[in-house]
Amino acid sequence: MRIRDLEWLVALAEHRHVTDTAAVLGVSQPTLSRALSRVEEELGVRLFERVPEGLVTSPHGTYVAAAARDLVARYRQLTAEVVARLDPDRGVVRLAFLDSMATSLVPKLLRGFHQEAPGVRVELSQEPGHRIRDDFAAGAVDLAVTASRPGEHFGWLPLQHERLVLVVPPSHRLRQRKRIGLAELAGEEMVTTPVGFGFRSLVDGLLAEAGVAVQVSFESADLATIEGLVAAGLGVAIVPENFAGLSGTVGIALTSRGARRTVGLTWRTDRELEPAAARFRDFVASFSSPRPPRG
């Protein structure tokens, strides 16, 4: 059964006359009659009854015509949405981003892009890096702001370089230090992200490289929450420098050369981006020019 047949069925139910409906549709009466017969044969029910005034729907026909009307409306909506998605001025961008980017980089990017392309709708997903990788695999997102390239067949556009620092409570024994080596954290209680998060892997790698073992006291997916827990005296933490001091913590520079991360925009290169998503990527490329942190 074709959408056109359903459209003609709806028109017949509205006009209730084969000749008049055929004229409205711009087709011959035999063509319309054959289409109706085809639908009735496929469904196995009679949809219209002849009366002196023309046609009336049978009980089955009333039900089928209502369903056909819904299907035709949904099909028209679908085609309109597909056209819109292919329009770089009215399409949809599905953007995922790390929790730690929610109040800094992402709002800045979205504000600039909205000024350039106000008709484009951006659907946002705030989630950890491993879930972003799952969404890419499922085709659920177009682009993502993350702390590492997910793997092969992904584009990568660096957006900002972040220095990592140690944050301690304002009464901590190390609060007056300007710089510190990770080896000095032996025996400290650490607040960090859960196992499986990209940031946790980065922190664990730094600690392992320094040959130091710490006890994890609390875990949170949100870096701002981690900083708040440290301020409350529940341990120390390694966080991006811009999180230091949010709740009264003291930030201390780390001597490790690897104590940094690069945040970037990524997308799959084995699938073509739709026009609106490609426009967002190109905007971000012209918008951002990251500089590595000193030291």
Q: What is the pLDDT of residues 195-213, one digit of tens each?
A: 988 899 999 999 999 999 8
What pLDDT is recorded for position 289?
56
Q: Take residue 121 and report the two structure tokens written for it.
A: 């709708």
Of the two residues 3 and 79, the one the predictor is more confident about is: 3
Whether pTM > 0.85 for this model: the answer is no
What pLDDT is recorded for position 293?
53
**Bridge partners (DSSP) listed for residue 184:** none
Of the two residues 214 and 81, the one the predictor is more confident about is: 214
- With a CB cutoff of 8 Å and minimum separation 6, the contacts of 104 are 242
Whether 163-260 and 3-85 are alike in CATH topology: the answer is: no
For residue range 235-263, what is the model confidence (pLDDT) as tens digits? 999 999 999 999 999 999 999 999 999 99
Domain boundaries, the chain: 3-85, 92-159+262-287, 163-260
Annotation: CATH topology of 92-159+262-287: D-Maltodextrin-Binding Protein; domain 2 (3.40.190)
For residue range 117-170, what is the model confidence (pLDDT) as tens digits? 999 999 999 888 888 999 998 889 999 999 888 888 999 999 989 999 999 999
Determine the 3-state secondary structure of 28 from DSSP.
coil
Mean per-residue pLDDT for 86-110? Answer: 85
What pLDDT is recorded for position 104?
76
- Averaged confidence pLDDT in the chain: 90
DSSP state of 204: H
- With a CB cutoff of 8 Å and minimum separation 6, the contacts of 134 are none
Superfamily holding 163-260? Periplasmic binding protein-like II (3.40.190.10)
Where does residue 20 rank: exposed (0-12), middle (13-18), buried (19+ CB within 10 A)? middle
What pLDDT is recorded for position 100?
78
What pLDDT is recorded for position 90?
82
Domain 3-85 -> CATH class: mainly alpha
Mean per-residue pLDDT for 36-44? Answer: 90
What pLDDT is recorded for position 288?
64
Confidence of residue 290 (pLDDT cuts 50, 70, 90): low
Mean per-residue pLDDT for 30-44? Answer: 90
Provide the sign of the torsion angle of the four alpha carbons 65, 67, 73, 75, taken in this order: negative
